[in-house]
Each structure stands twice: as C-alpha cells, then as structure tokens.
Amino acid sequence: MRLFVTGGAGFIGSNYVRWVLAHTDDDVVVYDALTYAGNRDNLRDLEDDPRMAFIQGDVCDRDGVAEAMAGCDAVVHFAAESHVDRSIVGPDAFVRTNCDGTNVVCDTARLLEMGMVVQVSTDEVYGSIDEGSFAETNRLEPRSPYSASKAGADLIALAYRETFGLPVAVTRSSNNFGPYQHPEKLIPLFTTNLLDGLTVPLYGDGLNVRDWCHVDDNCAAIDLVLRQGQHGEIYNVAGGNELTNRELTRRLLALCGRDESFIHYVDDRLGHDRRYSVDAAKISKLGWSPSRDLEEALAVTVDWYRENRWWWEPLKKAAT
C-alpha cells in the first residue's frame, strides 16, 4: 500500500512515518507545508529510505494535494495547526488549515477513490469533564479555537462518509509525548528548560488534568484504525496516565535533577479546560492497548532531549 501522510514532518506524523517503515511493507508519501512546526530534521534518519518520498505543500492547495495524492491508496491526515496557545492569539490559521484543509484532503480523497482516510483528532473536541471519561458518542463541546477547529474537521470528514461514501475513520487521542515534539509543548518545553537550568512556567494552580499517551502507542492505534477500523467510526485513544500538570512537572524536575524552586506559576491560559479524559474501550476491542509504562517512557523521553540538543536548540533559538 502507498500511504499519503499529511503533516508527516510534524511530531506525531514523523513518528508515524518511522513506525510504518519499521512495522509494514508500505510506502509513504509525506505531504507537509513545513510551517514553524514542520521540520525535515524530524525525518532525517529516514531520508535515504527509498520507501519514503517528501513533497512540500499546503493541504489547502487543491492542485498540490491532488498531484501529490495521485497513485496513493489511503490517507492518514495529521496536518494541522496544533498549539492551543497560538489558537488563542491567532485563530484564523487554525480554521483555515484544520477545517478548509481537511475539506480539501477529503474531497481529493473522494475524487481519487482512496481506500481509507484516517482523520487524526484529539480528546480536546469533547471539552472538559470533572469526573468519568468521554465515550465516542458524547456531544462535542470544544472550548478553544484549536479544539473547535478540530471538531469542525472531524465533522467535515465524517460528512464525506455519509454524503459520498468516502471510507473515513477518526481517532481522538489524549496528549502525546515522545521524541521530535516541538519545544513549545509542555513536556519538551519544560524538559529543555530544566536541562538548561531555566525555570518552567506552570499555568494557574497547576491542577489541570491531562492523560498522557506515548506517541508510539498512538501511532500503533492510528495504524490499527487505518487497517481495521470501521468506516464512519470514531475511536478514542488514551494512555491511561492521568496526571495534574503539577505532578507531571514534579516528575520532570526529578528526571532533570532540579527542585521545585524551578517552577514559576504564571497566569492561567484563557478558557483553560480543567480535565480531559476519554474512554478507549472501543479501540481496545480492535486489539489496541497502550504498551508503555509512563515512568519509564518519561525517563526515555527526557534522555532523548538530553542527547539530541542538535534537534531542539535551533527550534528554541528560532522562537526567541
């Protein structure tokens, strides 16, 4: 099979490309605009693999998408604006890429008769929940421009299934972590700050709760949905590791050999959702379960950032 992977130069996308090349015989066409979040260095170790091709392009460009997707069999759609904080100061790019881009990807997939389109989404589309966990049937109550644009993208993709019979499935995972995550996101930001002897900015009271899923586990889930998911269905993906941001920070402090004086509390994010939690029972019936122990996976991740300054130092410099 030849896979068309949008956003394959981003964090999860590049890990997914690596996962596919290691675990399957499939070929991959990466299609990525290389925004500030996309980085050819994320794929550097795969550059010489003849099974991977890279095409720079925007998912909103119909002709570009059509030309690049031609000859492929299935689509895994990661490309998105993905940072909640950026969506608060500049929502337009989020609606454009996440909604318009998903429409172009689905419409092109329909015209080219792709065998499957996996829309990669997020637990954030359900909004915040105080107790219990959201099932796939729960209503969508996104509360940031990011999560609203992802909810819109999910509905657009699912509408292509209903209206045109396009084979579509949606995955909604909790927060991912692992190698090649842009240092604007919590775990790489805090880790790289601590490695450099800098403090870490913790929002509000630090008691917001997130579930953490290692990126390899999410890649396995996405790939399973690609190959065995039911058309028109949604699959939640959860690591089973709910932590307050404060507790997560404490663990990162310990792994980096720093104490709590390295935390500085900052004003809370606008509209900051208190807790995300999704129930992954449905995908577990397909045979998926998270395989990574959080403590060990966090330690390995911190070590990766410790050993790969070449990768993140230029990104942090570019951000200042």
Whose Cβ is closer to ligand NAD: residue 167's or residue 188's? Answer: 188
Whose Cβ is closer to ligand NAD: residue 58's or residue 273's? Answer: 58
Whole-number minimum distance, CB 75 to ligand NAD, in Å?
13
* Long-range contacts of residues 152-155, Cβ cutoff 8 Å, at least 24 apart: 152/95, 152/98, 152/99, 152/102, 153/80, 153/98, 153/99, 153/101, 153/102, 153/119, 153/121, 154/119, 154/121, 154/125, 154/234
144 binds ligand NAD (CB under 6 A): no
C-alpha to C-alpha distance for 76 and 4, rounded to whole angstroms: 6
Whose Cβ is closer to ligand NAD: residue 100's or residue 262's? Answer: 100
176 binds ligand NAD (CB under 6 A): yes
Chain residue whose CB lies nearest ligand NAD: 10
Q: At 14, list the tokens.
A: 């590049």
Choice from 102, 133, 175, 236 touching ligand NAD (CB under 6 A): 175
63 is catalytic: no
12 binds ligand NAD (CB under 6 A): yes
Burial of 116 (0-12, 13-18, 19+ CB in 10 A): buried
Question: Which helix (H) or strand (E) element contains residue 207?
Answer: none
Whole-number minimum distance, CB 134 to ligand NAD, in Å?
14
Which residues 25-44 are close enough to bind ligand NAD by CB under 6 A?
32-35, 37-38
60 binds ligand NAD (CB under 6 A): yes
Classify each residue of 233-261 as buried b or exposed e, where b means 16 or more C-beta atoms within 10 Å of its C-beta: bbbbbbbebbbebbebbbbbbebbebeee
Answer whether 129's CB lies under 8 Å from 100's CB: no
101 binds ligand NAD (CB under 6 A): yes
Whole-number minimum distance, CB 233 to ligand NAD, in Å?
17
Answer whether 104's CB lies under 8 Å from 77's CB: no
Whole-number minimum distance, CB 207 to ligand NAD, in Å?
20
Q: Which stretch binds ligand NAD (CB under 6 A): 52-60, 187-195, 279-287, 304-312?
A: 52-60
Q: Determine the residue type at 226.
A: L
Q: Determine the residue type at 149.
A: S
239 binds ligand NAD (CB under 6 A): no
User: Of 146, 160, 180, 276, which is the active-site residue?
Assistant: 146
275 binds ligand NAD (CB under 6 A): no
Name the residues annotated as catalytic.
Answer: 123-124, 146
